[in-house]
Structure formats: structure tokens, C-alpha cells
Amino acid sequence: MAPGDTEGGSEHQQLLVTVTGQDRPGIAATLFGALDAVDAQVTDIGQITIKGHLVVCVELDCPADVTPAQVRRSVLSSDLGGDDRLQVTVSATELPIGAIGRRLLVTLTSSSLTAGAMARVCTVIFESGGTCERIVQLATYPVQCYELVVLGADHELLRTSLAAESSRSGIDLAVQRAGLHRRAKRLVVLDADSTLLTEEVIDLLAAEAGVEREVAAITEAAMAGGLEFAPALAARVALLKGLSVDALATVAGRLELAPGARTLVRTLRRLGFATAVVSGGFHEVLDPMCADLGVDRVAANRLVVADGRLTGEIDGPVVDRAGKASALRRFADELDVPLTQTVAVGDGANDVDMIAIAGLGIAFNARPVVRDAADAALSVPYLDAVLFLLGIPREEIEAAEEPEGDDPPGETESVQ
């Protein structure tokens, strides 16, 4: 059956009814009551209110002999017709050119947003063959965040074009496919150092041992590509030989969470997500913090202790770049979560493999090599902005923060 034809062969048309103006109670009920008198089926509805200004759009599937003027008269004959604060229009509608294909979601996050930046984003969408079907505000603080529903754009072209625009404008832009799978990501894995935490644990331990300069030199060499992670970690841990285990507890007590970290984990838990920390750091320092947060799984390195002091060695295989990806796979398997329903968040080259295999890989204030490997990148300092990429608006985050009786921390399982 061709579009616009019924089984009886009669032609049909789509009409768009739009009501705009000052919002007040009862407008929607009155509108649909008036439309009930028209020989038509409702095929789409959109409504939004901004600062008391209402926009309602209703798409109708009507017989060809029903005119826009007839529909408008029906609406104006209701209580809406006597309200001079409202405007009613009725027109024929059709899909815009290029609006064919799968929907994509563009998430825009920024500490501030100019009209010029928004114009450039919309231009990129247009030049990628798409049209912006809907814009939804997810948050106004601590950052501005908007979700744009885009129809008809080439996914890869849009992703690369928006990545370039993100670099130029300094606003975060992420592209995902729309669909139920997006809200079905059930395991979120976080790097610790400079992601969940504001600092590097090895640097804090080095300060306790009085070897900050030596450790920093090795770290710099590793970042410059002169050392792989495992030997660099072994060299730095060797410098901690003789450090009292009491220093581990001291450092654990001084850890500073990234802004929004506690909100992120608490919200994910209350929405039914599992959480994990996968780190090249150390269980002895991270486990107390993760238990306090209610993190479900932890994978990290273990330090060898003898007579109450560090021996300068690591117990067991090092959790390096490959080890992080392996831990993500293991946790997903243990929790019966497909990899496509996992999220990985990190900042360093050591996180690239787990970011690459996750259903959604997020680079958080990351180096370019990590941003290039990720599906999305955040440059704002608030870790709970990750929630916006999952389509969770600010009001749901605030609702998750409200007390729900006794809410004990989850049991944290430490896994080497």
C-alpha cells in the first residue's frame, strides 16, 4: 500500500496544527477536544514550554477533503479561540529533504553557549545531510547541556565534522545512535587517577616517601614514549621500598574525588547501573574509597608488604592498558552485561583499549590520543556530566540524590 493511500483507495494528507503563546492549564485538553470533531487520526505530538511560553504541535492524518481551514475553525470555535494570547496555525506537512534514515543524538555540553556556536553546530548537521528534529535541555548547571535529535545525517561524517567543530569552539559534542540500547548501558567502568580522582595516587605515595622528583622523572619519560607502563610502574614502585603501610592509609584518607564523582556513582546505583573502577593504581589505597562510594567492582595493582613496610614490588600481573580492557570484559561477563551495554571513562593512553571495546567510550579531560579513540569526549571538570551522555537529565539526577530511607553503601568486590 503506497504512502497516503488507505485500503479503500482514498487519498490522505498530513496536517500540522500548531498552538503557540502564553501557557495556562487546560490548553492541551481543549485542543484535543476540538480536534476530536475532525475526521483525522493523531500521528505525532510535540509540546514544550519555555519560561511560560508554550508550543504545541499535533500532526494529523486526514482525508484529502479535510482542509487546513476546516481544522483551524474547529480549534478556534473552542475556548482557545477566545484567548488572544494564543496563535493557532494549520498547514500541510511533509518530511524535509534528507530527513530519511536513522535518528542520531548529538549531546552538546559547555560551561557557556553562544548563539554563534549553536549556529555552527546546526550548520555542521545540515552539511552532513541531516535535519535537527528536536532539541531538549538536559541541564543548566553546573554546565549547559542540550540533546539534539538529528534525522538523516551520515553518522561518520557528522561525528568527524562535530569533532573538528568541538576543537575549534571548545564545546563538547558527542554523537550516538538513538534507541533503547542507549539507556540500557548497565555497567560503567571508571579510571581512577585524574578521572575519578583529581590526582595520581603514585605521586601522593612518592610524596610520603620523599621521592617525588625521581617518580616524576620516570612518569615524564613514560609519557614521552620512552617507557611502557608496566616497567615504568615497576620502577616507580621500587622507589617506594621501605615506606610504612601506615602511609597507605594516610594517602587513602587524603584522596580528593573529582567534582561530581560522588553524584555520578550515587545516581548510577539508584538507577540500577553497576559500577567499577579499573586502575593502574593500588587496591590498598583505592578500596576504602570505592567501598565508601558503593562501587561494585575494583581492579587494581597490589603492593607487596613485609614487616609493615613496602618491599618495592608488585604482587601479581600489572593492571596495564591490556589489563584494563581485560578487567572490563571480566566484570561484564560476571554481571551478565553485554559489552555493547558498557561504558568506559578515562583520561590516559592506558585507558584507550577499554574505551575502544566499551559500548560507549568517553574521554574525560583527556589527551588527544584518547579523545581520538573515544566515542565522546568531555572537557568540563564535572564527572557527573557523563550522565548527560546517557540521556539522564538534571532533574533525574537530583531525584536520585533525594534520601530513600536507609541507603547503605554497596559491597565492593576487589579483584586483582
Rounded Cα–Cα distance for residues 175 and 324 (Å): 25
- 12-22 vs 53-63, strand pairing mode: antiparallel
Rounded Cα–Cα distance for residues 153 and 280 (Å): 39
Whether the predicted pLDDT of 130 surpasses 50: yes
Q: How many CB atoms lie within 10 A of CB 372?
A: 12
Strand arrangement, sheet containing 53-63: 41-50, 53-63, 12-22, 86-92
Q: Which residues contact 294 (CB under 8 A, 6 or more apart)?
A: 265, 266, 269, 275, 409, 410, 412
Question: Mind giving me the DSSP string for 324-351?
Answer: HHHHHHHHHHHTT--GGGEEEEE-SGGG
The pLDDT value recorded for residue 180 is 62
Task: Report pLDDT digits (tens) over 199-239.
Answer: 999 999 999 999 999 999 998 887 666 678 899 999 999 99
The pLDDT value recorded for residue 178 is 81
Q: Is the pTM of this model over 0.85?
A: no
Domain ranges of the chain: 12-92, 103-178, 187-200+243-415
Task: Report pLDDT digits (tens) over 79-117.
Answer: 999 899 999 999 987 654 444 457 899 999 999 999 999
E-strand ranges in 51-171 read: 53-63, 86-92, 103-110, 131-139, 144-151
Q: How many CB atoms lie within 10 A of CB 176?
A: 21
Class of domain 12-92: alpha beta
* Topology alike, domains 12-92 and 103-178: yes
Nearest CA to 393 among 144, 216, 204, 170? 144
| Band of residue 183 on the pLDDT scale cut at 50, 70, 90 | low
Task: Report pLDDT digits (tens) over 316-344.
Answer: 999 999 999 999 999 999 999 999 999 99
Nearest CA to 104 among 131, 127, 83, 65? 131
Q: Which fold has domain 103-178?
A: Alpha-Beta Plaits (3.30.70)
Contact present, 406 and 191 (Cβ < 8 Å): no
Just list the catalytic residues. 191, 193
Rounded Cα–Cα distance for residues 21 and 55 (Å): 7
- Buried b / exposed e over 73-94, threshold 16 CB at 10 Å, is bbbeebebbebeebebebeebe
Rounded Cα–Cα distance for residues 275 and 412 (Å): 10
Class of domain 187-200+243-415: alpha beta
Rounded Cα–Cα distance for residues 392 and 266 (Å): 13
Whether the predicted pLDDT of 35 surpasses 60: yes
